Structure 1
Amino acid sequence: MGKVQSKTGRQKRSKSSASTTSIDQEIIHKKRDVEIYNYIDKRKYCASYVLPLDDDEIDRLTLQHYIFQNIWKSNFSSPVDFLLEIGSKVLDVGCGPGVWSLEMANKYPKSSFTGIDIVATFPQTIKPENTNFIVGNLKRLPFEDNSFDFVYMRLIMFALTISDWPEAIKELIRVCKPNGWIEIMERDILWHNESDLVRKWRTSIVDKIRQEKGIELIISPHIPGFLHSNNQLTNIEYDKRKAKIGWGEKMYEAYGQLIMWGAKNLSNAVSDIQFNEGQYNKLVEVAIKEIARNKGYDKSYRFWAQKKSL
């Protein structure tokens, strides 16, 4: 993978700043709830998600998909290849721009894929015939019990509070068929071989979002407990991968840029933290360079489990 561009063919968006206030609001009515979208420095946000919902974030999520696909050398870890080959129903929870579902739909044409997210950043017209995307809230999935053979959810921690997690997992299990599989993938905001300065900066962000939003950014240690505490699951497994941040081969250089991009997109959520080192975005760049010099890395995790038969 070559050098990552800050955009993929779209006009660069303005970045949020601590002093900017909401300049517009858009209210979207849905069957189950009402979402209010705020526009801050021309970037779209909603109350239930700390990252922006705009073209810039779509680009980042798309790049993120391909990097993690490369890190893991696969799109999933559950033992569902045979099910997908013969034809199964698959749900992609928090699908974002839908890249995972689109790739899976092309690889497994006998299976059907449904993606759901809180905002429609996914394709609505040009897509494979065996895909469908809908807007909905993962806290109450708009599907009947026992609807899907495989339920997949990844990198969703910014959308859930720590207290939301057990109920969200119950929803994955509810819509999964007996003997079907659920899978969860997450990456903690926890960097190995970071300096004391970077640790202080990262911890400030993690603590603020935990205290003010109830969102846990080091979530992987909690997920096994959530899974094992549910008596509807069996065959619970997990795996992990280490990823270098900004050093080594080009893919890891791109990974460092991806982390920097994501950190900058958090700027609105952490805008009132007083970073003595200076402007937030500049500090992010310095931190990622320092992590690369120290040969820092982080880990991503996949957890999968089978729903028990009736």
Structure 2
Amino acid sequence: MGVNLSLPKNKRKKTKDENSIHSIDDVSKKSSVNSEQKHEFNYIGGRKFYDSNVAPYVLPADIEEDDRIHQQHFALKHICGGNYTAPIHDIIKPGSRILDLGCGPGQWTLEIAQEFPYAQVYGIDISANFPTSIKPSNSHFIVGDVTKGLPWEDNYFDFVWIRYLFVGIKDADWQNLYHEVKRVLKPGGILEQHECDGLTENPGPKLKKILYHINEGLTSNGLCFRLACQLSERITMAGFKNAQPSYISTALGRQGGKIGEIWAANLREGCGAMKPWLSKLAGLTDTEYDLLIQYIFDYEIEEYSVYHNHHIVWARKI
């Protein structure tokens, strides 16, 4: 599952005409783009994954995964008490611009566009799984690989949002990406990032085994399993000021109440989504893998009082 993505060679502004960036209207109209995208995927165990030479993303790129991400969005919105924690009401004014970096199917983008109808809200993702027509008029979607540079001029955005991209951005690409985010942010603009720690707290022996192999798979793809614990340091190294780190713990299963059950169900689906490659790393048949995941989420998370940490950092460009 190795990857070979190149870093951008300079900081110049890219245009929408370049091959790596397509507006959503272009994607929906040009068959050449759709045909090209067919060759970017591998089908493993009935699920569609990005070819490792295109992107290091270890989760599927299909409708089932989009459904899981939607569920994840609503769970995280509840866990974090809203769609953001930074004081962005102080900076978002008529004409402001907001960027959802790695927007996935676009739920956060759409909700923020509704909350701030006087701002322009952009979502960018390597996969065109976001809505093309039924959406607020102030929401815009772009197809692009963010590790190859952002297609906007300097000092363009007031707020940049990143969430749960540790499974899709190579460790070696993060610092360059932070510098690109800083470039496109206006002075006084805010970056906010949310990531979950790859490790859960108090894992039982069977969950430890799965986490070991998830870490193995991510590391072989050049990804950082515990990026969440390093956010503040990395963002500060990129030149952002006054980083405000925090984290929220969520108990899994019944011990965490309704949201704990929802979050456990989401993690369970995530493990199911990774089964085509994770079962092989663990040396298990599909049936053995299914039984192991069932045991972990039906019994072990309750027995060991497992919980998960969600790390949050926001910082300003000065």
Q: Where on the TM-score scale, by shorter chain, does this alignment land: which range?
A: 0.7 to 0.9
Structure 1 residue 222 displacement after superposition: 2.1
Of 119, 129, 147, which residue of structure 1 is paired with 2:156? 147
- Please tell me whether the aligned partners of residues 147 and 176 of structure 1 are also in contact (alpha carbons under 8 angstroms): yes
Name the amino acid aligned to 1:160. I
* Whole-angstrom distance in 1 between the partners of 2:291 and 2:46: 21
Partner of 2:26: none
Of 267, 281, 299, which residue of structure 1 is paired with 2:290? 281
Of 212, 222, 242, which residue of structure 2 is paired with 1:235? 242
- Please tell me whether the aligned partners of residues 245 and 296 of structure 1 are also in contact (alpha carbons under 8 angstroms): yes
Task: Describe the shift of the 1:151–1:274 C-alpha distance in structure 2 as closer, same or farther (beyond 3 A).
Answer: closer
- Please tell me whether the aligned partners of residues 247 and 295 of structure 1 are also in contact (alpha carbons under 8 angstroms): no
Partner of 2:9: none
* Whole-angstrom distance in 2 between the partners of 1:202 and 1:244: 17
SS in structure 2 opposite 1:215?
coil
* Cα offsets for 1:194-250 (capped at 9, x unmatched): 12332133122212321x11111211222222112123x112111111111112322
Partner of 1:38: 42
Instruction: Determine which structure has the larger helix proportion and give its number.
Output: 2
SS in structure 1 opposite 2:86?
coil
* Whole-angstrom distance in 2 between the partners of 1:56 and 1:273: 22
SS in structure 2 opposite 1:263?
helix
Name the amino acid aligned to 1:250. K
Unaligned runs of 5+ in 1: 1-28
Name the amino acid aligned to 2:252. I
* Whole-angstrom distance in 2 between the partners of 1:257 and 1:107: 28
Q: Are positions 1:292 and 2:302 aligned together?
A: yes
Name the amino acid aligned to 2:152. F
Structure 1 residue 281 displacement after superposition: 2.6
Q: Are positions 1:201 and 2:205 aligned together?
A: no
**TM (normalized to structure 2)?**
0.82
Task: Describe the shift of the 1:126–1:191 C-alpha distance in structure 2 as closer, same or farther (beyond 3 A).
Answer: same
Name the amino acid aligned to 1:298. H
Partner of 1:21: none
Which runs of structure 2 are paired with 1:83-102 in the superposition (5 Å)? 83-84=91-92, 86-102=94-110
SS in structure 2 opposite 1:194?
coil
Q: How many residues align?
A: 278
Structure 1 residue 101 displacement after superposition: 1.0
Task: Describe the shift of the 1:44–1:30 C-alpha distance in structure 2 as closer, same or farther (beyond 3 A).
Answer: farther
SS in structure 1 opposite 2:159?
strand
- Please tell me whether the aligned partners of residues 171 and 223 of structure 2 are also in contact (alpha carbons under 8 angstroms): yes
Unaligned runs of 5+ in 2: 1-16, 22-35
Which runs of structure 2 are paired with 1:84-163 in the superposition (5 Å)? 84=92, 86-139=94-147, 140-163=149-172
Structure 1 residue 130 displacement after superposition: 0.8
**Identity across the alignment (%):** 31
Structure 1 residue 295 displacement after superposition: 1.8
Q: Are positions 1:184 and 2:188 aligned together?
A: no
Name the amino acid aligned to 1:253. E
- Please tell me whether the aligned partners of residues 209 and 269 of structure 1 are also in contact (alpha carbons under 8 angstroms): no
* Whole-angstrom distance in 1 between the partners of 2:172 and 2:279: 24
**TM (normalized to structure 1)?**
0.84
SS in structure 1 opposite 2:226?
coil
Structure 1 window deviating more from structure 2 (29-38 vs 116-125): it is 29-38
Of 68, 82, 85, which residue of structure 2 is paired with 1:74? 82
- Please tell me whether the aligned partners of residues 91 and 189 of structure 2 are also in contact (alpha carbons under 8 angstroms): no
SS in structure 2 opposite 1:158?
coil
- Please tell me whether the aligned partners of residues 213 and 282 of structure 2 are also in contact (alpha carbons under 8 angstroms): no
- Please tell me whether the aligned partners of residues 102 and 125 of structure 2 are also in contact (alpha carbons under 8 angstroms): yes
Name the amino acid aligned to 2:65. E
Name the amino acid aligned to 2:81. K
Aligned CA RMSD, in angstroms, stands at: 2.0
